[in-house]
Amino acid sequence: MQKEQADNKRTREIKGAVCLSLALFLLLCLVSYHPQDPSFTHFVASGQATHNFTGKFGSYFAV
C-alpha cells in the first residue's frame, strides 16, 4: 500500500514539473514575441536573426 502511494506521488511530481516547464517555455515565447520573426503566416528568408528568446521554434508558438 505504501509503495503504491509513493509511486503515485512521484508520478504527480513528474507531471507537475513537465507542466511547469511547458508553461515557462510558452511564457518566454509570448513575452519575446516580435512581429518580424518567422511564423505560419509570415515568411522570412533564411539567415535572418530571430528575436524570440526561444528561437525559431518559439516564434512559431508565439503567433
Alpha carbons within 13 A on the beta-carbon side of 56:
10
Q: What is the mean pLDDT of residues 56-63?
A: 83
Structural domain boundaries, residue 15: 2-61
Answer yes or no: pTM beyond 0.85.
Answer: no
> Which uninterrupted H or E stretch holds 53?
none
If phi > 0 it is left, if psi is from -120 to 50 it is alpha, else beta; for residue 17 that is alpha
d(CA 16, CA 33) in angstroms, rounded, equals 26
Q: What is the pLDDT of residues 2-24, one digit of tens each?
A: 667 777 899 999 999 999 999 99
More confident residue, 9 or 47: 9
d(CA 36, CA 48) in angstroms, rounded, equals 10
Count of structural domains within the chain: 1
Q: What is the mean pLDDT of residues 34-43?
A: 81
